[in-house]
């Protein structure tokens, strides 16, 4: 047999006992040493990237949160077609759909309270049959838009407060654009001073207290 063939045919030498264990210990030592840290960090970053890609792949399709907020607050042009009470009304949009609107920043007397009928009548005169610019702020538990409204550049909510037919609903000031908060508060102070509308009574009951006494 040729010497080179004899070398090729020679059986592999058995691994010495404990060699595999030493190799594993060496690998662990490498991972926990400074030399292994970049490799470990790279593997973890790759795993996080893969998880993000999978989350995006299976996420529901929809508008981004910023776009959804913009859509929710976009002004609506509609014609008022009816009034529920002194602070809410029904309007018809340009596509014919009807929406219900709760005017932000004011609270008018409830239907069984004094001045409720006059407040409703006054709001009807301000709104019905006219185009209303509605700026939604949120929706209430009854599905109505809570909104700031304008008619021909005028603020019907401010008119209701000045005429003593609604309270400034200060409890929800945080919903209002900041410039309206002091404006509504000042309007109520003026109505009180002039004893306009419901302020003719010495101590009119606010509708929120009335609702608390008479839960639905």
Active-site residues, by number, are 102, 110, 144
Nearest CA among 123, 194, 196, 190 for reference residue 164:
196
Three-class SS of residue 206? coil
Closest Cα partner for 111 from 4, 13, 211?
Answer: 211
State the CB neighbour count (10 A cutoff) for residue 179.
7
Task: Note whether 123 and 86 are within 8 A (CB).
Answer: yes
What single string gives the DSSP state of each residue in 19-63?
HHHHHHHHHHHHHHSGGGHHHHHHHHHHHHHHHHHHHHHHSPP--
Q: How far apart are CA 198 and CA 29, in angstroms?
A: 84
């Amino acid at each position: 047999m040729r010497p080179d063939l004899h070398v090729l045919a020679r059986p592999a030498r058995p691994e010495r006992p404990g060699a595999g264990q030493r190799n594993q210990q060496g690998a662990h030592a490498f991972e926990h040493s400074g030399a292994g840290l970049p490799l470990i960090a790279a593997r973890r970053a790759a795993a996080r990237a893969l998880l993000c890609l999978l989350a995006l792949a299976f996420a529901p399709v929809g508008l981004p949160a910023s776009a959804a907020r913009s859509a929710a607050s976009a002004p609506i042009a509609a014609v008022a077609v009816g009034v529920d009470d002194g602070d809410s009304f029904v309007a018809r949009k340009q596509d014919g759909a009807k929406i219900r609107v709760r005017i932000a920043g004011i609270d008018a007397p409830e239907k069984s309270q004094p001045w409720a009928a006059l407040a409703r009548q006054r709001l009807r005169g301000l709104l019905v049959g006219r185009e209303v610019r509605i700026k939604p702020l949120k929706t209430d538990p009854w599905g109505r838009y809570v909104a700031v409204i304008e008619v021909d550049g005028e603020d019907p909510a401010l008119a209701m407060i000045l005429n003593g037919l609604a309270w400034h609903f200060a409890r929800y000031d945080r919903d209002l654009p900041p410039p309206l908060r002091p404006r509504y508060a000042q309007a109520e102070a003026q109505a009180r001073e002039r004893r306009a509308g419901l302020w003719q009574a010495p101590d009119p009951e606010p509708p929120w207290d009335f609702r608390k006494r008479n839960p639905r």
